[in-house]
Amino acid sequence: MGSLALPGRTALAATNTAAIISNTIAAAPSCLSYRVEGLCFFLYCSWRGCRIRTSLRVSHYVPDAIVSTYNAASQHPWGDLGAVVATTLTAASSTMLATLPDSSAGGMNTAAAMASFKGADAFGNPVGMFAQMISSGGVFSVPTTLAIPDTSEISGFLSNELPNIGKQWTQVPQEIASGVGSGAVSMLSGKEALLSAVRTLMSTVDAVRRVTQIYNTIGNIQSALSSISQIVGIINGATGGQTIFCPGAASMFSLHFSSELDAYFWRGVMPLEMLYPQAWVPTLGEVGTGVTTWGSIYPRTGEIIQGHPVKASAVLAERVNSIISRSNQPHIYARLKVNGGSGYRYFKQGTDPKWQMLYPVADRSCATFGGNDSLSLSSWGDGRTSTEDGYSWNLWRKYECCRRRGSYLYSIP
C-alpha cells in the first residue's frame, strides 16, 4: 500500500492539516486494534415472513479528536487551523472576561497572573469519519463552516451533573466532605445569572462569526483523505472482505472544545470545577497510579503543577478528554457522541482512551498516559519537547458494535 505518512518519530517545524491526516493513517495499523469479537443475531420481518439475520460483532479504536495544548494562541502547534481559530477566538475570551487574557490564570490584572497556565482545544479528526466514507463509497466533502460549541451541555449541569457530584461526595471521608461541602454550596450562588450571561456572550461575540470565513483557507486536503483505502485494507484483512466498522463520534473539524470560548471555567473565574471531590482529595482522578503520578485531572482548568512539559500537556489533554467525553459538564463544549440513528448496535462507545503524539514528534503508535518512570534513567517525554511548548495529540477511543439488520436478539459471545 502507498503511504502519505511522515517518517515515524520525525520532529516537525510545525504541523498542518495534511500532516495530521497522513500521520493518523500511518498509526492505524498499530492504534486501530481491529478485532472480530463475535456474531450478532437479529430478527428481520417483511411481508414475506420473518427470518434470522446475522452481522459481525467487531471492536476497534477510532481517532475521534485532535487535542492540542499551547502557551498562547499564536503559538498553537496546528498552524493552518488550530492557530487561526484560537487566535480569532481570543477576542471572544477578551469580551467574556472584559480583559485581555494572557498565559497566566485569570487575566493580566488578576492576583493569579503569575500562575502557570496553558490553553487547549479539541477538533474532530476527519479520519475518524472513515466509516461514513466507506458506506458512501468514498464520497465526502470538506465543510465550509466551523461548528462552534454552545451552552447546550452546561445548561443541564444543575439538574443532571450536580446530583452525580453529590453522590461522589458520599464516598469521601466525612471530615473532608464537611469541611469542603459548606463552601461548595455557596459557590453555586448566582448560577442562573451566570448561565444567562454566557448564553448572551456566546450569541453576540463577533469573533465567532469570523471563524467561518477563515476556515475556508484550510486548502485542499482531498488527496490526504483519499488514503482512507489503507484503513479499508486493514479491515478487509481482519473480516475476510467484509468492511464492517463502528462509526465513532468524530466529525470533520468540528470544534469540540476551545479554552478561549470556555474562558470563564478553564481560567477558574467561575470555579465550578471545585465542586468535585476529585479537586480536593489526593489520589482521586489522577493520571497514573501509585505514589508517583503525572498530575490530577481535576480541577479541569489550564493550571497545572508538572515540571516536565510533555507530561504537563498529557495531563491537560486528559482533562479535555474528561470534559468532551461526558454530558452536562460545567464548561462550554460540544460532547463527542455517536449519531443515535447510525444503524449500529453498540456495546462500547468511546471507552479506554489512548493517545498518539502528532507534534512535535509524529508517532506511528499509541500509548496510555501515566506510566511510572521514577526508576528509569530518563523521563517519559524526554527528547520530545517543543521549543514553543505546544503539543498536539490524537485521541483514539474504543468502540464495539455490529450493524443492525432487524430487531436485536442476542450476540455470541
Question: pLDDT tens for residues 312-350?
Answer: 999 999 999 999 999 999 999 999 998 766 789 999 999
- In this structure, are strands 10-11 and 255-258 parallel, antiparallel, or unpaired? unpaired
State the average pLDDT over residues 205-221.
58
Tell me if the pTM is above 0.85: yes
Mean pLDDT, all residues of the chain: 80
Where does residue 80 rank: exposed (0-12), middle (13-18), buried (19+ CB within 10 A)? middle
Cβ neighbors of 35 (< 8 A, separation 6 or more) are: 58, 59, 60, 238
Contact indicator for 255, 147 with CB cutoff of 8 Å: yes
pLDDT tens digits for range 358-411 = 999 999 999 999 888 877 777 888 888 888 899 999 999 999 999 999 999 999
| pLDDT for the residue numbered 226 | 63
CA distance 64 to 343: 19
Q: Is the dihedral of CA 145, 149, 151, 156 positive or negative?
A: positive
pLDDT digits (tens, 9 = 90+) for 162-200: 888 888 888 877 777 676 655 665 665 556 666 676 666
Q: Give the torsion through C-alpha atoms of 269, 274, 279, 281, to 10 deg.
A: 140
Sort 271 into a burial class: Cβ within 10 Å, 0-12 / 13-18 / 19+: middle
